[in-house]
């Protein structure tokens, strides 16, 4: 028996139809309404097709198919929703429209009926402020495609009755979704936590450190992300991403962690929105990204030994093995010889800083990323004083065993380190602000964003003190509050506790 008898879904677009399918499949009666009746017909036809496809594949029984279809009906007028005890709106993302709808619904439905909004960016308290009974209003924020994304944020407005939160959470769980309860905070939980990935990638691009394709390849291969940030921008649409970035920045009163990138507005104005326009950061043909062939560098003669600034015996051995494949020697002395190509392995620093601090010759020195392993993709970081021949030799020698090598420009924390550190730091801030407890935060991010770890789990996996060191260096080099260390992170590192350690 469901916690709600009958659900009215208003707005039969992408989200509304998904929400209807989810609850109808869980055996709850759903009425679907749209101001354009053809939208509801299309939504019901689409849902029927989805469910029939699942039945044809054998993932849904014939009986379950019939039950789900019987649970979904159109409501031609709003008045037909009067008997519903839960109304979920998924109409246009506009405050006035949502407030007007909720005011109208309050005149139709019973005093106990719950009004939920699927808004992704508007304040639930602001929507509820137009209602007679704001205590019955909550956020119920699903992700696209709703039946497959097994997570929903249940957003507590300032006046929302806790019972409403409990009932919505129970309903979500009964339908097989995980409920992440979160306060009415900008971006709620998931969109807030997601602000460290794409925006830092834009920052890296904006500084001329690497190309979008390089940044995507490095983050996928070294940290295990399913999609690179620029692939994601192209999928979501840069116009949609721009709106989210700007809205969260504004709602947090110009918090520097969320400063939007100036690269975005001209691209949006030029229609470089991504897949839907055939061109974004990548070009698309027939819905597929066109891969630009990687230019193979011309082979060079490697006439110098290498020297590695790294105490980790495993890393030293790994690098020595790779170099041996290229018949190149790794020097073992404390200081490099006068011919050696010097490899430094910075944590959070840029190559220039380490080379200057260690008094190494700039023409023969560059940085090798070792933070996330050397097995899938290697990253070499040049600096302004590097000799081009030395770079060509290093690139060839370090790719001698067939592992691809990316060459990027100087950056504190290369690419993977600084993106990861930003994700962990922001997760720590979210935990510190009590927007979610550690376990809910990590689960929500894994389910909604598909990250291999949640932000706190990521930190514990790679070592919280290393993350803190990366941030410390980023903050030091840029001298920007964007990279300041969250107290949640600092305290747990100081006390030797996992980042997932909760707090009262
Ligand atoms: P959509 O444009 O696909 O569908 C919106 C539907 O609402 C349209 O069919 C439209 O005719 C109808 N509509 C507009 N005003 C109405 C009104 N006053 N009364 C009845 N129907 C009305 O939009 P989509 O993508 O489904 O988004 C809906 C809501 O869900 C928005 O608030 C959006 O921010 C939010 N959302 C969207 C996500 C997405 O990935 N598309 C993800 C999570 C939330």
Which atom belonging to ligand 1 lies closest to the Cα atom of 15?
26
Residue 293: the pLDDT is 75
User: In the prediction, which pLDDT does 239 show?
Assistant: 95
Candidate of 14, 97, 141 to mutate for ligand 1, largest count of ligand atoms within 8 Å of Cβ: 14
State which of 42, 92, 93, 126 you would mutate to test the pocket of ligand 1, scoring each by most atoms of that ligand within 8 A of its C-beta. Answer: 92
Rounded to the nearest whole angstrom, what is the distance from the C-alpha of residue 119 to the centroid of ligand 1? 9
Does 16 sit in the ligand 1 pocket, CB within 6 Å? yes
146 touches ligand 1 (CB under 6 Å): no
Interatomic CA distance for residues 286 and 275, integer angstroms: 10
Q: Looking at residue 295, what is its pLDDT?
A: 77
Cβ–ligand 1 contact at 10 (below 6 Å): yes
For 405-456, the pLDDT digits (tens) are 999 999 999 999 999 999 999 999 999 999 999 999 999 999 999 999 999 9
Residues 6+ apart with CB under 8 A from 217: 228, 377, 404, 406
The alpha carbon of 436 and the centre of ligand 1 are apart by a number of angstroms equal to 26
Query: 90 CA distance to ligand 1 centroid (A)?
Result: 5
Of the candidates 248, 278, 276, the residue with the CA atom closest to the CA atom of residue 186: 248
Nearest-CA residue for ligand 1 atom 25 is: 14
The pLDDT tens digits of the residues spanning 105-118 come to 999 999 999 999 99
Count, in order, helices (H) and strands (E) of the chain. Answer: 20, 16
Query: What pLDDT is stored for residue 323 in this prediction?
Result: 97
Q: How many residues does the chain have?
A: 504
Per-residue pLDDT at 2:
66
Cβ contact 156:168 at 8 Å: no
Judge contact between 195 and 187, C-beta under 8 A.
yes
- Give the residue numbers marked as catalytic: 120, 141, 153, 191
39 in contact with ligand 1, CB cutoff 6 A: yes
Tell me the backbone φ, ψ of residue 142, rounded to 5 degrees: -95, 170
In this prediction, what percent of the chain has a pLDDT beyond 90? 97
Cβ of 97 closer than 6 Å to ligand 1, yes or no, is: yes
Ligand 1: which of 8, 12, 13 to mutate, most ligand atoms within 8 Å of CB? 13
- C-alpha span between 165 and 248 (Å, rounded): 24
For residues 33 and 36, give the distance between their C-alpha atoms in angstroms, rounded to a whole number: 8
SS3 (DSSP) at 94 = coil
The predicted structure's pLDDT at residue 1: 46
252 membership: H or E segment, kind and range: none
Query: What's the whole-model pTM score?
Result: 0.94
Identify the segments of the chain with pLDDT beneath 70.
1-2
Q: What is the pLDDT of residue 465?
A: 98
237 lines ligand 1 (CB under 6 A): no
User: Which residue owns the Cα nearest ligand 1 atom 12?
Assistant: 11
């Amino acid at each position: 028996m469901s916690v709600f008898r009958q659900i009215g879904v208003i707005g039969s677009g992408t989200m509304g139809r998904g929400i209807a399918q989810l609850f109808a499949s869980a055996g709850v009666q759903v009425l679907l309404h749209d101001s354009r009746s053809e939208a509801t017909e299309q939504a019901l036809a689409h849902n029927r097709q989805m469910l029939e496809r699942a039945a044809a594949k054998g993932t849904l029984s014939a009986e379950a198919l019939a039950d789900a279809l019987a649970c979904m009906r159109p409501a031609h007028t709003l008045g037909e929703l009067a008997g519903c005890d839960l109304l979920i709106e998924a109409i246009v993302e506009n405050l006035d429209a949502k407030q007007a709808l909720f005011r109208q619904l309050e005149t139709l439905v019973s005093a106990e009926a719950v009004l939920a909004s699927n808004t992704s960016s508007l304040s639930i308290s602001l929507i509820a402020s137009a209602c007679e009974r704001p205590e019955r209003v909550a956020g119920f924020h699903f992700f696209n495609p709703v039946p497959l994304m097994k997570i929903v944020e249940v957003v507590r407005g300032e006046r929302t009755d806790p019972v409403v939160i409990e009932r919505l959470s129970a309903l979500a769980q009964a339908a097989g979704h995980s409920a992440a309860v979160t306060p009415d905070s900008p971006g709620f939980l998931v969109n807030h936590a997601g602000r460290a990935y794409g925006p830092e990638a834009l920052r890296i691009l904006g500084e001329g450190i690497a190309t979008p394709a390089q940044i995507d390849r490095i983050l996928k291969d070294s940290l295990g992300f399913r999609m690179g940030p620029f692939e994601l921008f192209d999928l979501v649409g840069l116009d949609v991403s721009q709106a989210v970035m700007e809205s969260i920045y504004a709602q947090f009163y110009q918090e520097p962690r969320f400063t939007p990138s100036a690269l975005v507005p001209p691209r949006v104005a030029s229609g470089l929105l991504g897949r839907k326009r055939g061109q974004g950061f990548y070009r698309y043909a027939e819905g597929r990204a066109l891969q630009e062939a990687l230019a193979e560098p011309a082979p060079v003669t490697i006439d110098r030994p290498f020297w590695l600034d790294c105490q980790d015996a495993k890393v030293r051995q790994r690098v020595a093995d790779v170099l041996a494949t290229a018949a190149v020697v790794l020097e073992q002395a404390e200081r490099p010889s006068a011919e050696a190509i010097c490899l430094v392995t910075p944590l959070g620093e840029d190559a220039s800083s380490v080379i200057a601090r260690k008094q190494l010759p700039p023409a023969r020195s560059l940085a090798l990323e070792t933070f996330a392993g050397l097995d899938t993709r290697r990253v070499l970081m040049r600096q302004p004083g590097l000799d081009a021949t030395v770079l060509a030799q290093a690139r060839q020698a370090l790719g001698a065993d067939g592992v691809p090598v990316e060459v990027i420009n100087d950056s504190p924390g290369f690419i993977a380190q600084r993106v990861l550190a930003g994700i962990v730091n922001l997760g720590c801030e979210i935990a510190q602000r009590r927007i979610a407890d550690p376990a809910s935060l990590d689960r929500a991010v894994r389910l909604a964003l598909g990250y291999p770890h949640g932000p706190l789990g990521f930190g514990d996996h790679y070592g919280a003190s290393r993350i803190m060191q990366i941030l410390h260096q980023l903050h030091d080099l840029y001298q920007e509050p964007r990279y300041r260390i969250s107290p949640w992170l600092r305290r747990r590192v100081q006390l030797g506790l996992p980042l997932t350690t909760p707090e009262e």
